[in-house]
Structure 1
Amino acid sequence: MSVKPAPFAYAKARSVEDAIKLLCEHGDGAKLLAGGQSLMATLNMRLSQPNILIDLNGIPGLDGIALNGGDVAIGALVRHAAAAKSDVIAKHAPLVALALPHIGHPAIRNRGTIGGSIAFADPAAELPACFLALGGEAEIAGRNGARRVKADDFFRGLYETAIGPDEILTVIRLPSATPDMRFGFAELSRRHGDYALTGLAASARAEGASLKDVRLAYFGVGLTPIRANGAEAALAAGKFDDAVAALAFDLDPPDDIQETGAVKRHLAGVLLRRVATQLRGARA
């Protein structure tokens, strides 16, 4: 197997508009470079063979984190390490703060970007599941202007999203945590920094002793992050054991080189028990 990429041209985009123009000019032959932590591996193995690499890192304004009204706006070029140090993330998007230490290793977190993780949409990655669990929105720019896509409509298939071939993800918007919100996160992996065998990101709203608006987003169990709708409904009804049992209908994990689907489904139940405890006991 080759460990060197095939030849390609390189262009450094100076603005979002410049990047979109380059995408339109080069079509399917273009690839976008943000943190490059996934792209570099696929280039070296020649799983990706673009004609041109468009570097987004020179674009100003895409590396900020801000509280914007009721949303936390995270620029697509924000590095994982920067997000982990952000007071805004810690206070207003605590689920993301819980997930970030599980992503790879420090070298990867220093280069990898929030937008790159969401756009690459690896089904075993932490941040796409957090995005889904929080019911966030992706802001996407293209030649026809900007648009927003809700997290529930964003993931289309394996490494496939709602981002069009001439579009760029610019901002991730997450609802700011309120005092009645509860969050939970857990994953199981062979070693810290490995992709999870199974993982779960969750959010809910506390109403007295009950949980409402429960969102359970599993990762590592399908072609995309997956909401466990039956388990959500059972947990909201206070039927904890029924929530675990509902996973048999919510999830159909395929066998892979790490574990069988049956083992992954069992682990999903283990994680649900852990995360349900977090939801019932943790405050935003």
Structure 2
Amino acid sequence: MPTNAVITPFFHAPSSTWSYVVRDPDSLAAAVIDAVLDFDPSAARTSTTSAQALVDHVAREGLDVRWLLETHAHADHLSAAHWLKSTHWPEARLAIGSGIRSVQKTFRPIFNLGEHFPVDGSQFDHLFEDNETFRIGALQARVIAVPGHTSDSCAYLIDDALFVGDSLFMPDGGTARCDFPGGDAATLYRSIQRLYALPDTTRVFVCHDYGPNGRAVACETTLAEQKRANIHVRDGVSEAEFVAMRKARDATLAMPALLLPAVQVNLRAGALPEPESNGVRYLKLPLDQFGKGD
């Protein structure tokens, strides 16, 4: 399969997130994947510095952004997709996997968002079904549902480039946790096996990298390398072994620092809550609902 997609990665150090601009070199049509809105939790302040770097790149290259793609409703950063669409690329379609409906149904009562809050995914322009195809100019793309980390997780296969979200990290980073509402380790194992059935030469682009053991952060590997060396789910690791490892590891992990602000924003496709009567927007913190008590 020829490699046509031109991929430019952007690293958001505070959340260890990789965002991507994917372009068709012939038509200059492009997609943006997993853009990040900066958020300072100590001051409850948002900013768009990181997202502006994507805008500047698109402007320099003369690209036509057709899609704003989310791999899932992230729990570790706020999405900048809504800001990008509303301020720069109104014609772009903001899309996520159809499993977002399940995530919205799970979290609507947790945040007490009320019956008026839609749980049909209508905050997004498009909800992808498993195996749905779409185009970015001349580039052929396919959606692969990969639930397990979350129920809405999906991967995007664009030419030979696979954007896996949080399902896989770099081989020395392993895999994402499965203890969030809607997560399931056995489901993640089976999802990863679907990815591993793709050609070994498929390029893999991860959503996060934490530089294990002090190495420089990285974003690209191959399926062959994942199958050979992923520390959690390489060739020869059974589903039962993976589930036991994942459950034991997840039990030791603290909740992500931005889970509560991130999820309630990302359920809205990155839109912030509407201002209240004083003109201020507010996020909710449901007390004593997560983590271990005293």
Give your verdict on TM over 0.5.
no
Identify the structure with the greater helix proportion: 1
**With CA pairs under 8 Å and 6+ residues apart, which has the higher RCO, 1 or 2?**
2
Give the TM-score, by structure 2 length: 0.27
Give the TM-score, by structure 1 length: 0.27
